[in-house]
Amino acid sequence: MAVDSRTDVVRRFYDEAPFPGYPPRDNLAAFRARAERSRFAQLLDAAISADAHVVEVGCGTGQMSIYLAHMDRVVVGADISRAALRLGQDAARRFGITSVRFIETDLHHPGLRPESFDVVYSAGVLHHTADPAAAFASVARLARPGGMVIVGLYNAFARLPLRFRRGIARLTGFRVIPFDPILRERRAEPARRAAWLRDQYQHPEEHRHTVAEVKRWFGANGIEYLRSFPSTVFGDDGRDLFAPAVDDWNFENWIAQLGWMWTLGREGGLFFAIGRRS
């Protein structure tokens, strides 16, 4: 299957069930409280300067773009799915957020000027492309020299628990999906539950990655690797996302990733890698 046709498959997939969606009768206070359950979201917000130009590539329904769009920041949310973008635009309007703009684009041909953003953020997207390394190269070009690049990817180890659950789900025709806390949490929200089920268990394109692999991507594209979140350095609290992790040791990285099966594996195995463009 050609890359473009695989992109069309992914576009149709998200147009049918935009991810992650918004709860009924959502409001700004509830939205921010829900977003700040994520320690990573809190730390990212704290690390980005008050006047930064930020782009989220593969923003889906725009939760992170809306969350970061305060102070004097200018935020652009870009995605391939028109249905997802429509949900993001509606939410921003409902919440009274005016400093975020949503655009429809393909991350391989983003239609945005290279080297024009202080922060480039792309989470949960590259591993759903036919060639994640090429997709990363396209995304990384949007960061200005000295700008930050943050990518969120499925980790090869941390994804194993969900792959086990997915195997059981497929054997039972998706009637039984054991030990998934997100599905339990969304029992009273059918649309958001269905979006999680499709995204995590029925996606037509999925890849999984190690920290070492992502470090190679960074090096090949002139990005200085700084750290991961969660940190792969024992004793590092990861509080400053834009500071390099000290004493970053490859063997320690592998041990930490094995441990992610019991932490990140609970919700799908997504980790973040952070770097600075040279």
> What is the structure's pLDDT at 18?
73
Q: CA-CA-CA-CA torsion for 158, 160, 166, 168, nearest 10 degrees?
A: -140
**Residues 158, 257 contacting (CB under 8 angstroms):** yes
**Residues 77, 88 contacting (CB under 8 angstroms):** yes
**Residues 135, 85 contacting (CB under 8 angstroms):** no
CATH of residue 113 = 3.40.50.150
Query: If we measure between CA atoms, which residue out of 146, 199, 202, 168 comes closest to residue 19?
Result: 199
Q: How many domains does the chain have?
A: 1
**Residues 49, 102 contacting (CB under 8 angstroms):** no
> What is the structure's pLDDT at 68?
98
In this structure, which amino acid lies at residue 276? R
Q: What is the pTM of this model?
A: 0.90
User: What is the extent of the structural domain holding 28?
Assistant: 3-277
In tens digits, the chain (278 residues) has pLDDT values of 444 677 777 777 767 767 677 888 899 999 999 999 999 999 999 999 999 999 999 999 999 999 999 999 999 999 999 999 999 999 999 999 999 999 999 888 888 999 999 999 999 999 999 999 999 999 999 999 999 999 999 999 999 999 999 999 899 988 888 888 888 888 888 878 887 888 888 888 899 999 999 999 999 999 999 999 999 999 898 889 999 998 888 999 999 999 999 999 888 999 999 999 99
CA distance 183 to 255: 29
